[in-house]
Structure 1
Amino acid sequence: MPQQNEQYESKESFYHLDLCCRMAAEKVGKASFESWTNGDYLRLSGQLFRQTNVQISPSTLKRIFGKLKTTDRYYPQKATRDALVQYNGYNDWDTFVAKYPKPVATKEEEPVDESTKNISAKTVSKKGRNIYIIAALIFIAVIIFWALQKNKSVQTVTSADVDLLCSKPEGEAPHSTTFTIKLANSFKGDKDKFTIDFGDNHREKEIDDGLTISHYYEVPGRYYARLKYNGTPVDSVSVYLKTNGWTATAQLQFDTSKVYPVNINRYTKTGKLEVTANEVSSAGVDTSKAFFVHFVNTKPLPVDADNFELNLWVSTSLPRPGIRCSQADITIYGEQSSHVARFIKPGCVTWALLNFSEIHHEGEREDLSFLGVDLTAGGRIKLKVVNKKATLFINDKIVHETAYRIPLKKFYGMRITFGGIGVIDGFALKDLKTGKIYSEGLTNIGSQSQ
């Protein structure tokens, strides 16, 4: 007996679901999903949540993709199908279905003459098989045509063909702004292939020439909105939400549609940046569930973001409901790109992140075990960047070195995010060109050797 929240339909209705699955598999980077392992479904589940804010478990994805066999093939609800096609760059399921109409395999049957009624069962069987073979060939042809069109589009469109425009690129949180695109006269691509990634983990939206899209930003920071053509970035614009010092904003892990500002005025007296569980609860957060606290300071500072040294002494969250990995994310905002490092308990390094400008590393795809560290009792984090060469330290030990190409240029601020209740015990930001040190109201640890 099917569960009440499931939907089962005839095999003929799975044409678009199969097409959607193949598109998603190609975006993940492993088109042959028939050979996927559990890790591939975990990866897709995480990417879906980050892009659409819809949580689809790996086990549900296995049923959708046909990995888990059932008597009647599972057909997901509309909200789940919407999330899958949004991951592929479409507004909703209906838009996707309209974009790829199901091909008609055969003509309508003509009236049968009485003299043909005694046709052999063997001939009927052959015709039936031929129909399925033709339908399968048509389906494969559609997939190949879609892939060729996608590759053709990516090769055709460049940043010279289109501009992404933002009406209000600066302000304070909360902030609303609008986006439009302007196509060059030389544009030869498909106008329906554009989507916009707002840079704040909300789902992408389709955008067309002449169409205005409004977006609402809630948390202070610097966001890099990117225009994509058939999934490939072709232009970008920054949206800068300034602060006048440190702010704190809480957010539930599985309800990113709401944010909760938290009062942190007392940090000016203690030299520490922290909030208590009671203060987070008073802001409106259900602290019995997993939540994050974002400490943001986007006051512009005269610091070269490609030549600086950042020292932090942090204590991550002790175990609490929904919090076991005790992560700390550190983000440095530059002009058109950022540096991001996620420190997390050793058993959770699958979710580690490390980005230096255009260089991106994910624990789901490679070994980032050097970011696995238990900081619940406190620890020192140091990031030193000299002429676009970055060195990362944990407790005065070098754990990673790399060089990047695209400069961050000016320092536009930073964000420190804790899973649960974390504390910034000390802070020092040094411009390596001028030697000036900024502590931003916190305990200066720049001269200490922890």
Structure 2
Amino acid sequence: MNDQSVQPNNPLYFDTLDGCCKKIIEKMGNKPIAEWRASDYNTLSSLLGQQTKVYLSENTLKRIFGRLKTSQRYYPQLATRNALAQFIGYRDWQEFELVYTSSQISTKAEEPLTEEKNQPEAEKPILKKRVLLSPVMIGFALIVIVFLLGFFLYLNKEQGLNSVKLVCENPFGNVPHTAVFALKSDRAFDKEEEFKLDCMEEALPATITGNDKITRFFKNPGVVYVTLYRKDKAIDTVSICLQTKGWVANSGNDTSRAYPIANLKALDPKNIAVSAAQLDSAGLDTKKPFLIGFSNIHPSDISGDNFSFSTKVFAEQNRPGVQCIETTIIILGEKDRHLLTLFRENCVALSRYTFSELKAIGSEEFLGNLAFNASNGGEIVLSVKNKVVTVILNGKKVLRTKYQKSIGKVMGVKILFNGIGKAVSPELRDLNTQALF
């Protein structure tokens, strides 16, 4: 019954519309519609707009109430009917239809809106004429009710599942950290249904139901965006912040083991580096390709959409088993991150960037402007102002782009190198307050 292109002579549709109109009149003080003046229609339009954000003109309201002469009875579009139903306390027109039709199955149409019996035909208010429902109409209405009820229950179930939220009971911790996850919803849902957790390769994926509390182990400093999936659709994300005390270093050859360097003790912020001896003490096999990560992780009030980051970096000229030496800058926010991965000119196809939802990969589009050789030192400036990103390499502006979705407040900075690298005096500054991270 919610088709917007109904036939104007269908009594079922107009009977329901008239029932809605009667309830609106009751809400407006039960003044007979024949006595309404321009001020009454304007008052209804204002109240309707305040409650539903849908504003209707005086003439539109008169057509809905049958007070404006037209060749055919006016039947409003679905958006207007939804607003009318919401105005009298229903979620939408479909819900009002279901309730109203159910109440009319074994009765006559609504009573007249006025007790006046001898008004001229032109002055008769809406709902004056009684319509007796035939057995065919009753059968049709029953079929519609069963269909709408089933659809209504299905929507309730889907809305319940879509309102399921992922909750972490301890989202802030040091390294290593065991986080506890559970599901929460303000609507009913099948607590035996399975959902999936994706931990960005920082921990093993997991299956969770509404009755579960599960844990995941995190071993690296940083911010992990744990995403909840239902049938391969992401429905919620929470952030796990693995904090540090200043700049620390860690490394690894694979995702299954982590190698905290110098026991994750704070490094000199003016010269962030580690030695081959420290790597050996950490148990790292330097004969295999490895990645060094320098991390400074803690909550802040700095917007991830308005800041400037700068540093000078030094990367190795070459490393056994590695053809292309990577330098990566990551700004971690509450909701998402900015990532800039740079390579020398001959490996620029591996370059990439991610600024919130905006992504580019050198293997899919040419990023030649991002060619960067830091073997003898190189300067990187990453500026974000009102979601407009500017990248400056060695004093030259090489990229300007814009993203849409905020990453929230800055929670951390990471600088990554293939092999042994060094960062000199990295600085992240709030563009509004000039506060330092």
In structure 1, the residue matched to 2:198 is 197
Q: Which residue of 2 aligns with 1:168?
A: 170
CA deviation vs aligned residue, 1:16-41 (integer Å, no higher than 9, x gap): xxxxxxxxxxxxxxxxxxxxxxxxxx
SS of the residue aligned with 1:349? helix
**Cα deviation 1:97-146 (Å, max 9, x = unaligned):** xxxxxxxxxxxxxxxxxxxxxxxxxxxxxxxxxxxxxxxxxxxxxxxxxx
Tell me how far apart the structure 2 counterparts of residues 178 and 258 of structure 1 sit (CA, whole Å): 21
Q: Does 259-268 or 232-241 show the bigger shift? A: 259-268
- 1:179 maps to a residue whose letter is F
Q: Structure 2: where are the runs of 5+ without partners?
A: 1-153
Deviations 1:259-304 (A, max 9, x none): 1111276943x83111122221221000000001110001334423
1:299 aligns with 2:301: no
Counterpart of 2:423, as a letter, is I
Distance 1:422 1:182, change over 3 A: same
1:165-314 superposed matches below 5 A: 165-183=167-185, 185=187, 187=189, 191-192=193-194, 194-252=195-253, 255-263=254-262, 267-268=267-268, 271-314=270-313
2: distance between equivalents of 1:408 and 1:336? 5
RMSD across aligned C-alpha pairs, in angstroms? 2.8
How far the C-alpha of 1:251 sits from its partner, in A, is 0.7
Equivalent residues in 2 for 1:374-385, closer than 5 Å: 374-385=373-384
1:77-116 to 2 correspondences below 5 Å: none
Say if 1:297 and 1:415, in contact at 8 Å, map to a contact too.
yes
User: 2:322, 2:190 → 1: CA distance?
Assistant: 50
Please name the residue that 2:329 is paired with.
330
Distance in 2, Cα, partners of 1:178 & 1:385: 34
Q: What TM-score, normalized by structure 2, do the two folds share?
A: 0.59
Q: Deviations over 1:391-423 (max 9, x none)?
A: 111112122212122222322121111110111
Contact 1:314–1:426 (CA under 8 A) maintained in structure 2: no
Counterparts of 1:381 and 1:158, CA distance in 2: 47
Q: Supply the distance in 2 between the matched residues of 1:157 and 1:321 (Cα, whole angstroms).
A: 54
Output the CA distance in 1 between the equivalents of 2:191 and 2:396: 50
SS at match of 1:279: helix
Query: C-alpha separation between the residues in 2 aligned to 1:288 and 1:249?
Result: 17
One-letter code aligned to 1:215: R
Q: For the residues of structure 2 that align with 1:190 and 1:234, how far apart are their CA atoms? A: 17
Which residue is equivalent to 1:390?
389
In the TM superposition, residue 189 of structure 1 has moved relative to its aligned partner by 12
Compute the TM-score of the two structures, normalised by the length of structure 1: 0.58
Q: How many residues align?
A: 282
Query: What secondary structure does 1:434 align onto?
Result: coil
The gaps in structure 1 that reach 5 residues or longer are: 1-151, 439-450
Q: How far, CA to CA, are the matches of 2:402 and 2:367 in structure 1?
A: 17
- The structure whose Rg is larger is 2
- Mapped partners of 1:377, 1:324: distance in 2: 17
1:158 CA displacement:
8.8
- Counterparts of 1:229 and 1:425, CA distance in 2: 44
Q: Offset at 1:349?
A: 3.1
Percent of matched pairs sharing the same residue: 32
Q: How has the CA–CA distance of structure 1 residues 169 and 189 changed in structure 2, closer, same or farther, with 3 Å as cutoff?
A: closer
Taking the aligned partners of 2:366 and 2:211, their CA distance within structure 1 comes to: 44
